[in-house]
Chain A
Amino acid sequence: MRAPQPYQMYPEQSEAPLSYEATPASTETTSAPEHYSVDTQAPKQPDYQSEAPQQSLEDATPEYDPTVVEYFTYINEVQHSLANIDALRRNMIEKDAA
């Protein structure tokens, strides 16, 4: 009695059409475009990643800021004048002392 059971299983396995039906009916293959559509979004990620090095590059190379350059030009000008005045004063005092 047990033998028929496997025999009966053959017909079940031979129901290939069912499996064929299942194959086209399965949404896995038909949903492949959706899967591809997800993959096609992948290029966006490299674009995003390609922006990262640009940001770090900008951070590494200071931008030319005319206001900052002008600021330190004034500071240098003042420092230069003060050093000159101090030198003139010292020279006069030393000359008088000599």
Chain B
Amino acid sequence: MPTLLSKALQLLTGDDTTPTTDWLRMPKQRAFKKYTERDLINLESEIGSALFGPVPKGHRREFFCLDKTTWIWHEEWLDKDDLQTATTRYEVQEKGILKVQSGPRYSYLEGEELANFAAAVTLYYEKVAREVYKIDPDSGLPLQ
């Protein structure tokens, strides 16, 4: 059943498809507590996993910055009751971004893949700055 806000959005945008307000929700209700680095990474990863659109049903996706030089993309899904996993690690180096996949397979990002990765990382930073840390990503000042 559509909510009042959904109806209002439908009227405003003129979109006949079922409107969703999921994008307005915070990734998780933050309790007033001390955060460990793992907690913050989990909060960030919830935002990161949604950067590429909705996660398919039965999939679990994590996309997060592990540290200053490492990025992780992890995906899990069930294939005929078998759990499949794929983890890609991106190592940010001075000469390029090394993609490390199971196998192991190594390759430096280039072309469209590099452009897409850079765009995803920039978007990730802008969203986590606003939604997790309440910081304006452009000025670095706290959001009011």
Binding site for B on A (CB under 8 A): 71, 74-75, 77-79, 81-86, 88-89, 91-93, 96-97
> Interface centre among A71, A74, A86, by most B CB within 10 Å?
A74
Instruction: Judge whether B122 and A82 touch: CB under 8 Å.
Output: no
Some 21 contacts from A to B, beta carbons below 8 A apart, are A71-B96, A71-B110, A74-B114, A74-B115, A75-B92, A75-B94, A77-B118, A77-B121, A77-B122, A81-B121, A81-B122, A81-B124, A82-B65, A82-B68, A82-B92, A82-B121, A84-B137, A85-B128, A88-B132, A89-B37, A93-B35
Give bound CA distance, A45 to B122, whole Å. Answer: 57
Interface size class of B (residues with CB under 8 A): 20 to 34
Residue on A with the closest CB to B126?
Answer: A81
Whole-angstrom CA separation of A82 from B114 in the bound complex: 15
Residues A86 and B114 in contact, CB atoms below 8 Å apart: no
Asked if A88 and B37 make an inter-chain contact with CB atoms under 8 angstroms apart, the answer reads no
Of A82, A84, A85, which is in contact with the most chain B CB atoms at under 10 Å from its CB? A85
CA distance A92 to B133 in the complex (A): 7
B106 contacts chain A at the CB level, 8 A cutoff: no
Identify the closest chain B residue to A73 (Cβ): B118
Query: What per-residue 1/0 map shows which CB atoms of B3-33 lie under 8 Å from chain A?
Result: 0000000000000000000000000000000
With A83-B68, A97-B34 as given contacts, are A78 and B92 in contact (CB-CB < 8 Å)? yes
B110 (CB) vs chain A CBs: closest residue: A71
Chain B residues within 8 Å of A92, by CB: 35, 40, 133
| Contact A74-B35, Cβ < 8 Å, known A82-B65, A84-B125, A84-B129 | no
Whether B129 pairs with A79 at a CB distance below 8 angstroms is no
B128 close to A71 (CB less than 8 A): no
B71 within 8 A of A: yes
Whether the Cβ atoms of B36 and A78 lie closer than 8 Å is: no
Pairwise interchain contact A85-B125, C-beta atoms closer than 8 A: yes
Q: Least Cβ distance of A41 to chain B in Å?
A: 49
State the Cβ distance, B108 to closest chain A Cβ, in Å.
10
- B49-62 to A contact mask, C-beta < 8 Å, 1/0: 00000000000000
